[in-house]
Structures are given as structure tokens and as C-alpha cells.
Structure 1
Amino acid sequence: MTVSREVELKGHIIDSGMMQSCFGIIMDMGGSFEVEEFRIGRSKTEESYARLLVEADDPDQLQSIVHELHQNGANPSDPNDARLEPAPADQVVPKGFYSTTNHPTDIRIDGMWVPVEDIEMDCAVIVERDDDGHPYAYTEVLNAIEEGDMVVTGEAGIRVQPPERPRGSEGAFGFMQGGVSSERPSETTISNIAEAIAETKAEGGDVLAVCGPALIHSGAREDLARLVREGYVDLLSIGNGFAVHDLERDLYGTSLGMDTESLDHPRKGHKHHIYTISEIIRAGGIEQAIEDGLVDSGVMYECVQNDVPYVIAGSIRDDGPLPETITDAVEAQNAIREQAHQADLVLMLSTLLHSVAVGNCLPSTTKTVCVDINPATVTQLLDRGSAQAVGMVTDIGTFVPMLAEHLFDER
């Protein structure tokens, strides 16, 4: 005896690949389906609709299939209200709690669909009510769950809406079709990215730059510093290494002991990074070193001078670290999360670990640009679920100066 459940797909489900993906999920998981209704959108703006009857051999198999379909945007056609259960203790969620994707999500409460605020992947959904009794929902990481929080459990009353692939090339973001290739025309792609940044700023949006030390080593420091100074970077997310090498370049003219202009290795240059950390600690921190005139150039200098917030998230391999480096992992995650929720466009520039950390906190709708010389790094970052992302395989020391040139030429 088989069991069944109806699910619906809405939107540009054909050219986005959503329908094909759902068909594959059902068959790969041993189920079967029947298309009960199918309406094809006949223009670029008209959406398509499909209603499927999904069948499986037993309730557990059906539940597994419906769960996977749900993660890909297929929602039950007969939704009930979401099931809420109280958290039994601090940092403990009820069994069977709903674990979020990074896609826009709605929760059905009192027969109404309520959008989930600050959506990000791998979180629980908490539902509360305001003073007038109206429900609202938001995501919460597991370590922030408090006893008694009303947590969404199961799959009922949850609607996931994956962003769809752009259907045309209109607007500055029309070129963002996902995927990665080192054979794309670099000049054209960088010009499009510059246009996207300019459009974001014109609309009052915020640009977050996530940067690795290679940016300093490759000689792109001054161009990024100018982007900060000219208002094209509103937030900076980095590790201890980036900040140290940026400051080292100011104090000693080297980055990790190498002169980034002559490529020479000065005598005792290998000690410059630890000397830099020592001098900044002696001064009382980055901002105090800048105020005292010890540091007067670079990315960190421009951030301080132009009130651009930065997060320096530490790791177990950090030297020092600098006083501003956040060494508590949970505290660093929360600081990164706050930046990610504020950002409208993210530049991930030659850093895998910090980009993954930021990417984990981003909604799939946030426009994202990933640049690295290693194709595997770019692919891994794009695979984290954003449909509004473009990847570019190139030297970061080439990319940042060209990006700055395009932005300043456009003004």
C-alpha cells in the first residue's frame, strides 16, 4: 500500500531547473509521481505552476522525499499551520526541529504566512508575538536558544522560495547567472561587477568586502584602501593575518617579509610581521596606533579614518593576535552575522575560510562576487547556495586594481 502527498511548484520552474531537480529527487529516493496540473508561463514575466502527487511505499519514505522537495522549493499544496514546541532547555531544541535553508522562508501561523526575518542556513526558527498579539518569526543559532522559546518543528506550515535564475541580462546584476569559469572575458566581467557595486551604492545599499592576506601580498592594498576611502566598501570582514600584513606594509614596507613592489626579501624581513604585532599591542591597538601617527596608510587606516566597521575574526593559528582580533569563536560568528545581515552585496576576495564563514550567514538572495586564483575555491563558495552569485578565477592583484579603475572611471 502506497502513501501520497500533493506538492506545488511555482515560479520560473522550467528554466531555473527547479522542476527537473524535483523530478530527480523523487525518483532517486525511490518514490514516484504524477503531474496533476501543469501551467506553463508564456512570457518572461509569467510564472509557471505544477502540482504533483508524490507517492512512496511508507510514511517515513514519503516524509524524507517531501523534506528534500521542500528544500528545493516544492511546498505542500494543503498547508497547515506550523507546529511549535517549546525549547526544553537553554541551547536545546525540540527533536524534529526545522533546520533552515538560506532561502527566503515563510511560516504559517494563525492561517497567515509570516516571513522569517534574518534568514540563514542551519538555524532554528523561533516564533514570538508582539504587544498586539501578531506573530513574527526569526532565525536563531542553536547556542542562542533559550528555554521556553517556541521552535518550529516538522515540515508543515513552512514555505521555502529559492531565488530564481535571472531570465534576462537587464540591469547591473543581469550578468550574475551563477557558475564559474576562468575563460570569461575578465575586462567585461570586472566592468559588470563595478556597475553592480555602483548601483548598490546608488540605491543606498552596503558593500561588504571579505578579504584574505593574499590581497596584501599581491600588491592590491592601495587600491582596496582607496575603495574604502571613496565609500565603495562599507564593511570589512578579515582575519588577523590580513590586518597584520596591511599594518606591516605601513610600518616596514613589506608583507610577510616581502617587499610587494620590488619582490625583495629584506634582511630580517621574516620578523616584520611579529614586530608589527608587537608595535600595535604596545600602542594599545590599531585605532590608537593610527591616532598616535604610528600608522598612516593602508586598508585598516582608511577604515578607522572613514568609520568603516571591521570584524577581525581570529583562528587557532594566529600570531599575537592583534588586540582587535576576536578570539572567541561564538563572539566572532555573531559579529560576522551582523555584518552579513546588513550587506546588500558581498565581495569575497581570495579567502576561503572567512568567505565560507560569511557565506553561512548570507541569505541566498544577497548578491555575491567570489574571486580567487584557485577554481576549486570559487566553486566551493558558489556551491553554498546563492543564486545571486558570480565567480571569477583570476589573480586578486589584477582584479582589485581593475575594479577600482572601472569604479573611478564611472564617476
Structure 2
Amino acid sequence: MSLWPRYCPPDFSIPELVHAPKVTTKPAPLDGVAPLDFHGTSNHPEYLHLGNGNWLLIAESRMDGVVVLRDGAVEVVEARRLKKGDPVVVGRTENGEEGIYVHPYGFAVPEVVDDEKFSFRTRGTRETPFSRSYDDLYQVLRHDRDHGHIVWVLGPAVVFDRDSRSAMQGLIENGYCHALLAGNALATHDLEAALFGTGLGQDIYTQKLAPHGHYNHLEIINRVRLHGSIKAAIAALGLSDGIICACEKYGIPYVLAGSIRDDGPLPEVITDVCQAQDAMRNQARRATTVIAVATQLHSIAFGNMLPGYRVLLGGEVRPVFLYLVDMSEFSADKLANRGSAQAQAILTNAQDFMVNLFNNLLKE
């Protein structure tokens, strides 16, 4: 059985698409400014009619982008990245009227018709059983470890517990992470745990508060800044465990995006939001499976950069999986309300999720 439903492209033989006009472009009037009637992209598969029945699937899309079409080559970019004169696709219709077709149901699985007019438990909550969700995730991760690009988006809760931190380290060491996205806090408290065994001054196993432990995260930031980089500090301080050490050891790229509330921050934290967005988007262009754990804002940010599909070598179209792990339905609902309709929620404690994942993937 396939890991995902087969993609069904649009039927371009229907009259509305056979007679659709060729897509049109207008030049960007200024750097960073789109034409007033620009087409804004979604995260669904989108096709452009290049003429004579030739419909081109946009290969690397995202929601809230604009389309630059030049000599039959297409690129979806953030409007801020436009250069004056760039040929930008224009049109606000989505069913071929202006040579643009948005196809939201390419992976749709036909629902079983049920005569029941009333039923319980039709919406996912913390009471929902997630056994099937876990089993599906295990299969996808085993596949994408060797044939995809797995991106993790992590909040600091993952490193506040010894076992979940060790679990994530083990997943990195065994090939289940191809990129890591986080903020200053995740990296800071992971390195704090490597040096002091604490997270925000609390022992990550016993939960006992260390004397003057509230200094520990500031201390590790200061020491890393003293050595000039995370990599240099790991070597100088003799750090050997945890998520960031594993990323450095195995050459896993990590993007640390800054925020207003950051202490320090660590030298690698990107404090320019546009630069951080560009670095995250580089990973979004490659991602096939994304697991976002206990970090609402980073989850929404990266979710907005993800297409719902990926075009593989050979032309196969597959879904991009987005799993949101949080204790609150609010986070899952908010991500979906921001357009990431493909997000699948697993509502549970972050630490329990990490340990469960590790035990099922690596302790078989």
C-alpha cells in the first residue's frame, strides 16, 4: 500500500480549460513591489497556462507568494524580493479564467458515504486516539529518512526533559533529521543542559533547582559568545551531548531565528527577520515531512512557507506532510486557520511524543 494517496492532476480536457487564455504577466513597478493585480499563491498545486494547452505546474510554491514567469521558467518569491521589471503573473481568478488554475483536491481520498445524520467525536481533541497518526508517521519517517527531507521545528520544551532531549539526539544520529528550525531558546537551553545539566536552572531529570541556576542560560550564552560561535564553544567547553552537538557532529543544518525577547542571543541566531525567513524558506523548498513540536509561532511561520505538495524527479507529485505536536487544540486550529490545511495535529505532551517516537523508530 502506498504511503500517500495518488495524485490526480486536473482534467485539462474540460471546455473551461481547453479554451482558457494564456496566463499574462506585468512588470514589477519597483523593487519589492508587485503589480496591483498580482496573483497571490496558495499552498495547493497551481498551474499556469503557457498557451496551446500547455499547463505548467508550479514546482516550488508557498502561500502568500507572487509568481515570476520568465521564458517559461517559473519561480514563486516573496514580494519583497521582486526586482523592478520582473515579469509577475497577474490575475485573481483560479479556475482558468486568466490562465491560472488552483487544484486543491489532487490528493483527496473519496469519503465513504454514511447515512448517519448525527455522530459523536468528529473533531480532533485531546480525547482523540492518535495511534493511527503515530503509525502513519512512523512509516513516513522511515521512508523519508532515505528518500526525503525531514525538517523539525522545535520549541524549548523538548530540551527541558532529559529523555526527550536524548530522544531527539538519537533521531538526529540515526538519520531522521535533515534540518532543524528553532529559536534562540531551544539552542540556548540545549547547550545549557550540555554544560550544566539544567534547563532554565532546573535539573532536566530531577527538576530540582540548581543554586543560582537562573544564571545558567545567561552563562552559556556568554561563553558561546566569548568563543565566537557554537561550534567553537562546543570544542572549547568539551560539550558532547544534546541536539545542537548532534547537529554539529553530523552536519545537520540548523536555522535559529531571533525574536524581541531573546537573551544574548547566541552568535548563530539570525536577528534580521527577512534573512531568517530566507534561511527557513531554503529548507521549505526541500521539505517532504515537517514535525513541529511545542512552538506555535515558529510552526505558523514555517507552515506558511510550505507548499502542500512536492514535485519529485521524474514528475511524481507527492504531499508534504506537516505534523503539529502540542498539548492545545488552539495551536492546531490556529495553524489551520492560517492556511496550513494539511497540518495533522497530535495533541500530547511534547516530551511524551519524543520518547514515543524514539522508542518505536529505534528500539525495535
Superposed, which structure 2 residues align to 1:8-407 within 5 Å?
A: 78-111=19-52, 112-129=54-71, 135-154=72-91, 155=93, 156-162=98-104, 163-167=106-110, 180-202=124-146, 204-219=147-162, 220-365=164-309, 366-386=320-340, 388-407=342-361
CA gap of 1:322–1:377, structure 2 versus 1, over 3 A, is: same
Of structures 1 and 2, the one scoring higher in RCO (CA 8 A, sep 6+) is 2
CA distance in 1, matches of 2:130, 2:65: 37
Cα deviation, residue 188, structure 1 = 4.3
Match of 1:16 in 2: none
Query: Aligned residues, how many?
Result: 331
Cα deviation, residue 260, structure 1 = 1.6
Cα deviation, residue 206, structure 1 = 1.1
Quick one: which amino acid aligns to residue 270 of structure 2?
Answer: I
Helix, strand or coil for the counterpart of 2:199? coil
CA distance in 1, matches of 2:8, 2:273: 46
Question: Alpha-carbon deviations, 1:165-208, whole Å to 9, x = none?
Answer: 33489xxxxxxxx9633223344432331222112224x11110
CA gap of 1:192–1:275, structure 2 versus 1, over 3 A, is: same
Helix, strand or coil for the counterpart of 2:203? coil
Cα deviation, residue 290, structure 1 = 1.9
Cα deviation, residue 408, structure 1 = 1.0
157-166 or 400-409: bigger deviation: 157-166
CA distance in 1, matches of 2:56, 2:133: 38
Question: Alpha-carbon deviations, 1:122-162, whole Å to 9, x = none?
Answer: 11110111xxxxx1211111111001100111230001111
Quick one: which amino acid aligns to residue 279 of structure 2?
Answer: A
Quick one: which amino acid aligns to residue 88 of structure 2?
Answer: V
CA gap of 1:255–1:297, structure 2 versus 1, over 3 A, is: same
CA distance in 1, matches of 2:337, 2:135: 24
Quick one: which amino acid aligns to residue 356 of structure 2?
Answer: M
Q: Tell whether the 8 Å contact from 1:179 to 1:391 is kept in structure 2 after alignment.
A: no
Q: Tell whether the 8 Å contact from 1:209 to 1:237 is kept in structure 2 after alignment.
A: yes
CA distance in 1, matches of 2:339, 2:123: 11
CA gap of 1:168–1:303, structure 2 versus 1, over 3 A, is: farther
Q: Tell whether the 8 Å contact from 1:382 to 1:390 is kept in structure 2 after alignment.
A: no
CA distance in 1, matches of 2:130, 2:100: 41
Cα deviation, residue 312, structure 1 = 0.4
CA gap of 1:45–1:120, structure 2 versus 1, over 3 A, is: closer
Q: Calculate percent identity across the aligned residue pairs.
A: 33
Gaps of 5+ in 1: 1-43, 54-74, 130-134, 170-177
CA distance in 1, matches of 2:207, 2:185: 19
CA distance in 1, matches of 2:253, 2:306: 18
CA distance in 2, matches of 1:361, 1:283: 33
Cα deviation, residue 214, structure 1 = 1.2
CA distance in 1, matches of 2:154, 2:215: 23
Q: Tell whether the 8 Å contact from 1:116 to 1:136 is kept in structure 2 after alignment.
A: no
CA gap of 1:386–1:77, structure 2 versus 1, over 3 A, is: farther
Quick one: which amino acid aligns to residue 81 of structure 1?
Answer: K
Higher radius of gyration, 1 or 2: 1
CA distance in 1, matches of 2:27, 2:10: 38
Match of 1:5 in 2: none
Q: Tell whether the 8 Å contact from 1:179 to 1:390 is kept in structure 2 after alignment.
A: no
Q: Tell whether the 8 Å contact from 2:44 to 2:308 is kept in structure 1 after alignment.
A: yes
Cα deviation, residue 77, structure 1 = 6.8
CA distance in 2, matches of 1:344, 1:217: 28
Helix, strand or coil for the counterpart of 1:346? strand
Cα deviation, residue 285, structure 1 = 1.2
CA distance in 1, matches of 2:9, 2:202: 56
Helix, strand or coil for the counterpart of 2:363? helix
Q: Tell whether the 8 Å contact from 2:61 to 2:76 is kept in structure 1 after alignment.
A: yes
Quick one: which amino acid aligns to residue 265 of structure 1?
Answer: L
CA distance in 1, matches of 2:201, 2:18: 62
Cα deviation, residue 275, structure 1 = 0.7
Gaps of 5+ in 2: 1-5, 113-121, 310-319
Cα deviation, residue 237, structure 1 = 0.3
Q: Tell whether the 8 Å contact from 1:246 to 1:255 is kept in structure 2 after alignment.
A: yes
Helix, strand or coil for the counterpart of 2:221? helix
364-373 or 299-308: bigger deviation: 364-373
Q: Tell whether the 8 Å contact from 1:206 to 1:342 is kept in structure 2 after alignment.
A: yes
